[in-house]
Structure 1
Amino acid sequence: MKEKQTHTWLFKKLLRLRREATQWLQIKPGDGSSIRFWYSPWSPFGPLIKFVGANAPRLSGIPLSATLASIWTGSSWTIAPARSVALEQIQIHMSTITLTDFTDLPTWNSKGIGNSNNNKFVISQIYDSLRESRPKVRWNKSVWCSKGIPKHKILSWLFVLNSCPTLDRLLSWGLHTDASCLLCNNYPESRNYIFFYCGFTFSIWVPLSSKLQLSLPSHSWDDTLNAISTISGSTQHQFLARIAWQAVIYETWRERNHRLHRGSFRSPDILLSLIERTITNRISSLREENPEESSICMQLWLS
């Protein structure tokens, strides 16, 4: 099937993944009527047009539109002598196959995907095989902490990658703008300055760090990220520290954007109160799912 203008974007994306999908599909020949000789993955060599090459029909005398059934006489294969090593391998494999009256059977072939050695479809294995594989980062749990607030996690991730449009990045793109930090107006704005050399942001982070009994808060972005990533203590204590760190990032960046786009200003005390209320609400939202854990978190947070 070819892409059409009337197809949806998602359907077009699925059609483009057909070549990827065929590496995990295997069709067990039955009567061969639904198997396209050159394109269907019926042999261990995958689609034969790729295995032999574009001149395969000319070398073999088998038409491009041929089905497996069309070259079966009922007792043998009607194929010319092999004219290449690849065609010889195909013919050797075909000598082990006999077509029957049964329907061709598509099967899922997961061998070679991760550590799988069975024919069970596992979506996570397919996802891992398609995506670019990279080493696990040390800040993984700090950003993608379980039960964290989704929008806070996404923004924290973007800041870890330094992908947010801070003023220093806008200047590097050639845009003409005042580089002064929008929260304090003292120094040029960058990720590392906002978190936490900026006095505005640091004045919010210090009381939260003290409340959670963290080590002496650092002005350095890298040191703070490392401290959050390697924090010890109970699971509940780690959870509170990470969602507090993420909440500071989210609310201070939101305040910065309000100042830039709306001309509205809030004090550090107001933001601190908002962050504390957000964390309290998040803990309360966990009560229905896990009352005991929610209670422990609330006691730690309010103590």
Structure 2
Amino acid sequence: MVVARKSLVGIRVFRHHVLDIGEEVCPFICVKVGNAQTTNFWFDNWVFDQPLSNSCSYMDIKNMGSSILAKVADFYRNGAWEWPSELLRKFPVLQEVRIQLSDARDLVEWKSISGKKRLFSVHRVWEDLRPRTSTVLWWPLVWFSKSIPKHSLTLWLAIRDRLLTQEQLKDWKIQQLDVCSFCSVCRDSRDHLFFSCEFYHRILAAFQAKGYCTGYQGSWVDFTQDATVQLRGKSLHISINQLVSAAIIFYIWQSISLTPLPLNINIKR
């Protein structure tokens, strides 16, 4: 969503309170001055690539006979800039301002890491600030055009070993059933539920008998590597394989997560 400027108040809230990373974000948020009616003279980045407030205190602003609420338009009269003498003594560089005001509204812009200024949008902010890592090879297995979101999310959590299995919960000191709900052989974990448990193998065998999910065995590393190779392309058979793979993981995990906990559950402090 592009934020065409109505007021800089919203941007300042976004900048200082929502993101809470002001020092990192502020240098990239600037204002393209139009009529200057809504641009704060002191705190908005409208000239010299930084807010003027970076070089003075609130007391300095008061001593210069100004207000923290002053707008840029307050210093522009009859087509020319009028700078108070106290202000020029503090900021002599203001004499170099050549901006001409117009009837257009002020616009909030985002200065990208490449130095280009464009209309502010959350998408551009995210693209510039987000952490970047190498693309994982298994992403087509999880995120594909025909995917079911809740299935993809569960599969993504499983691949990253973030499902709250008994193995994960033991570190939280939660007393509960300590055996797999399906086979009662051992404590359930991601690797057990989806590659060692007899229940999983029975479900997988049923689909493999119909020609789907063939070659899935061993471990999660083998699974992601094999699936990445087998599920390349956009054919109907590949799409069904992708859907079935995610659905098996989802419904097995849903069956586990819906299993009621014992009534005597106790969380140790």
The Cα of 1:174 is off from its aligned counterpart by 1.1
Q: TM-score, normalised by structure 2?
A: 0.73
User: Following the alignment from structure 1 to structure 2, what is the Cα–Cα distance between the partners of residues 232 and 144?
Assistant: 12
After superposition, the Cα gap between the structure-2 partners of 1:33 and 1:121, relative to the gap in structure 1 and judged at 3 Å, is closer
1:186 matches 2:185: yes
The Cα of 1:241 is off from its aligned counterpart by 1.8
After superposition, the Cα gap between the structure-2 partners of 1:15 and 1:118, relative to the gap in structure 1 and judged at 3 Å, is closer
Q: Which residue of 2 aligns with 1:226?
A: 225
User: Following the alignment from structure 1 to structure 2, what is the Cα–Cα distance between the partners of residues 141 and 126?
Assistant: 26
Q: Which residue of 2 aligns with 1:35?
A: 39
1:149 matches 2:148: yes
Q: Which residue of 2 aligns with 1:54?
A: 57
**CA-to-partner distance for each residue in 1:155-196, whole Å, 9 max, x for gaps?**
112222222210011111111223211111112211111111
The Cα of 1:214 is off from its aligned counterpart by 5.0
Q: Structure 1 regions of 5+ residues with no counterpart? A: 4-11, 263-303
1:160 matches 2:162: no
Q: Which residue of 2 aligns with 1:16?
A: 17
Q: Which residue of 2 aligns with 1:26?
A: 31
User: Following the alignment from structure 1 to structure 2, what is the Cα–Cα distance between the partners of residues 142 and 57?
Assistant: 60
User: Following the alignment from structure 2 to structure 1, what is the Cα–Cα distance between the partners of residues 56 and 63?
Assistant: 11
After superposition, the Cα gap between the structure-2 partners of 1:136 and 1:53, relative to the gap in structure 1 and judged at 3 Å, is farther
After superposition, the Cα gap between the structure-2 partners of 1:13 and 1:202, relative to the gap in structure 1 and judged at 3 Å, is farther
Q: Secondary structure at the match of 1:230?
A: helix
Report if aligned partners of 1:212, 1:240 keep a CA contact under 8 Å in 2: no
After superposition, the Cα gap between the structure-2 partners of 1:216 and 1:34, relative to the gap in structure 1 and judged at 3 Å, is closer
After superposition, the Cα gap between the structure-2 partners of 1:184 and 1:137, relative to the gap in structure 1 and judged at 3 Å, is same
Report if aligned partners of 2:40, 2:70 keep a CA contact under 8 Å in 1: yes
The Cα of 1:228 is off from its aligned counterpart by 1.6
Report if aligned partners of 1:143, 1:157 keep a CA contact under 8 Å in 2: yes
Q: Secondary structure at the match of 1:105?
A: coil
Q: TM-score, normalised by structure 1?
A: 0.66
Query: Which structure's residues are more often strand, by fraction?
Result: 2
Higher relative contact order (CA 8 A, sep 6+): 2
Aligned structure 1 segments of 4 or more residues deviating by more than 6 angstroms: 12-15
Q: Secondary structure at the match of 2:31?
A: strand
User: Following the alignment from structure 1 to structure 2, what is the Cα–Cα distance between the partners of residues 129 and 233?
Assistant: 30
Report if aligned partners of 1:196, 1:220 keep a CA contact under 8 Å in 2: yes
Q: Which residue of 2 aligns with 1:128?
A: 127
Identity over the aligned pairs, expressed in percent? Answer: 19
Q: Secondary structure at the match of 1:168?
A: helix
After superposition, the Cα gap between the structure-2 partners of 1:214 and 1:259, relative to the gap in structure 1 and judged at 3 Å, is closer
Equivalent AA in structure 2 for residue 52 of structure 1: S
Q: Which residue of 1 aligns with 2:84?
A: 78
1:97 matches 2:108: no
**CA-to-partner distance for each residue in 1:22-46, whole Å, 9 max, x for gaps?**
944423143x443321023322424
**Count of residues paired in the alignment:** 243
User: Following the alignment from structure 2 to structure 1, what is the Cα–Cα distance between the partners of residues 180 and 251?
Assistant: 16
After superposition, the Cα gap between the structure-2 partners of 1:251 and 1:29, relative to the gap in structure 1 and judged at 3 Å, is closer
The Cα of 1:256 is off from its aligned counterpart by 2.2
Bigger mean CA deviation after superposition, 206-215 or 216-225: 206-215
User: Following the alignment from structure 1 to structure 2, what is the Cα–Cα distance between the partners of residues 92 and 177?
Assistant: 73
User: Following the alignment from structure 2 to structure 1, what is the Cα–Cα distance between the partners of residues 234 and 115?
Assistant: 32
Q: Which residue of 1 aligns with 2:106?
A: 106
The Cα of 1:72 is off from its aligned counterpart by 4.0
Report if aligned partners of 1:62, 1:79 keep a CA contact under 8 Å in 2: no
User: Following the alignment from structure 1 to structure 2, what is the Cα–Cα distance between the partners of residues 69 and 160?
Assistant: 56
* Of 69, 73, 76, the match for 1:69: 73
After superposition, the Cα gap between the structure-2 partners of 1:57 and 1:45, relative to the gap in structure 1 and judged at 3 Å, is farther
